[in-house]
Amino acid sequence: MQEGTRQSFILIITSISIFFEALDIAIINLTMPLIQTSFGLSANTVQWLQTLYVLLYGGLLIVGGRLSDTVGRKRIFLAASGLFLLTSFGAGLSTTFNSLLAFRALQGVAAALLMPAALSIVTNTYTDTQARGRAIGVFSSFAAIGSGSGLSVGGLIASSFGWQWVFFINVPVILLCMVLAYRYIPGDRETSTSIPDLSSGLLLTLLITALSYIVHELGNWRTQGGWLVLLTAFVVLGTREFLRRNAAQPDPLIRFAVLRQSTLAIGEMLLLGAIFTSYLFLISLVLQKDRQLSAAQAGLLLLPFSVLSALTGKFLMPFLLKRLSVRRIARLGMLSMLLGTGLLLWQTQFAPDNVGLLLGSIACVNGFGIALCFSALTVLSLQPVPEAYHGLASGVGTTSYFVGGGLGLSLLSLFLSQPATGGSGIGSVPLAILGAYAAIGVLGLVGAPKVRVL
């Protein structure tokens, strides 16, 4: 097999795997009512299917990235894919909610190992910087369309075949990807003589999980204030202990010196998570409350814009990489985000009957903005980092995106109860906060160091 064909084959394998990983985060949302009815559960109880998955996913991303650098990206990719396959099959066969919850939690662990390993495989397969930028664009577009299509796909599958098939659908595709990955992805070269301090990894996982839980429960401060204060104290003291342990290790879990030049890009990933997660939340409220669409109808409306995002990553991103620096592409993506949030603010507050403004907003954010930003910021975060640490860098970047999404949405949600003005039921304050996230993102990229794909 020729080198170019082999590279394309590897990109397809990893992109399809990450599509299903991204799909799995969102696909459960429209399935939970059916699961709730099937097991006779309360809404709060069934919500743990998503909460536990997200907490473990966010908590283990950095550990997963570091393991892919040390144990081997192919080994971790295959192991994570196998775990994802088995837990999907087990979840579909579950006859009790406790077993379903356990398999769903293990799915979160598998996803946290899979994401950084897959991205590290892509960045190490494409050594030419321009080709690497194009490959990251394709990879990111698969992740974007997986996230964006989860709502509609989950609703259609669950209503047609039953909630079990939301999990079963992963099995044949992941199995095929594993067989092809074993055959075509090159074997791992030894990258480290020892595995990083696993106790520090466990502590870091607990810290990120605790922080994610605090962010998730900020709106329930009055009822959980004491517990949240204790968790906050644990995060502060635990972070201090982690930094001390990490500095004392000969092979630390996180080499901060390696990531120093990627700090700005990682910070922008945090903002991107805040913008996109908050936007998806608000646009779903606008579509369902203001436009009176069902959840499935709203998901189907968003699906074409997820396809637009994929096309942006596949065609527009490579076109721009030949003409602009990666910094300018990231700034262009953030400007698209800012324009999209501005259009949504104007439409909801001043022109509620103008559907064109609403569709334009979705196109700017779901179509162009997320694809350009995620791809460009990924390149910016990886470009200064040695290839041996691409797993770590991708894990830190994705964790920043995840934590930013939680923080941004929690802050924005605090103002949803404020009296609404204009034609929308969500009010202008949350939309103004969303616009502020995007504006900060644009301003942050003004002074970003130039990284050009030649």
Write the CA distances from 20 to 26, 47, 102, 272, 369, integer angstroms: 10, 21, 19, 21, 22
Task: Strands of 140-240 (E only): list them.
Answer: none
CATH 1.20.1250.20 describes domain 254-454 = yes
Handedness of CA 156, 161, 166, 172 (dihedral sign): negative
Global pTM exceeds 0.85: no
Predicted local confidence at residue 36, as pLDDT? 85
Nearest to 274 by CA among 402, 417, 415: 402
Nearest to 275 by CA among 64, 122, 153, 430: 430
Nearest to 442 by CA among 381, 351, 377: 377
Please state which CATH number belongs to domain 1-196. 1.20.1250.20
In the block, tokens 């990251």 appear at 136
Q: Residue 176 contacts by C-beta under 8 Å, 6 or more apart in sequence?
A: none
Residue 124 to residue 104: CA distance in whole angstroms:
30
453, amino acid identity: V
- Region of residue 162 (phi > 0: left; psi between -120 and 50: alpha; otherwise: beta): left
Residue 315 to residue 104: CA distance in whole angstroms:
35
21, amino acid identity: E
Residue 230 to residue 429: CA distance in whole angstroms:
30
Predicted local confidence at residue 352, as pLDDT? 85
Distance in angstroms between the alpha carbons of the first and the last residue of the chain: 27
What are the start-end ranges of the H helices in 28-128? 32-39, 43-46, 48-70, 73-93, 97-125
pLDDT, tens digit only, all 454 positions of the chain: 677 788 888 999 999 988 888 888 777 766 777 888 889 887 668 878 877 887 788 778 888 888 888 888 999 999 999 999 999 999 999 999 999 999 999 999 999 999 999 988 998 888 777 788 788 878 877 877 777 666 667 667 777 788 899 899 889 999 999 999 999 898 877 655 566 667 888 888 888 888 877 877 777 778 888 899 999 999 999 999 999 998 888 778 888 888 888 888 999 999 998 998 888 888 878 887 788 876 667 767 877 887 888 788 778 888 898 888 889 999 999 999 999 999 999 998 888 889 999 999 999 998 899 889 988 898 888 888 888 788 888 888 888 888 888 788 778 877 775 545 555 667 788 899 999 999 999 999 886 555 544 3
Contact 345, 432 (CB under 8 A): yes
Contact 70, 189 (CB under 8 A): no
Handedness of CA 410, 255, 376, 24 (dihedral sign): negative
In the block, tokens 């900020």 appear at 218
Contact 255, 392 (CB under 8 A): yes
Residue 446 to residue 238: CA distance in whole angstroms:
34
- Residue 190 DSSP label: P
Packing angle between helix 97-125 and helix 32-39, nearest 10 degrees? 150
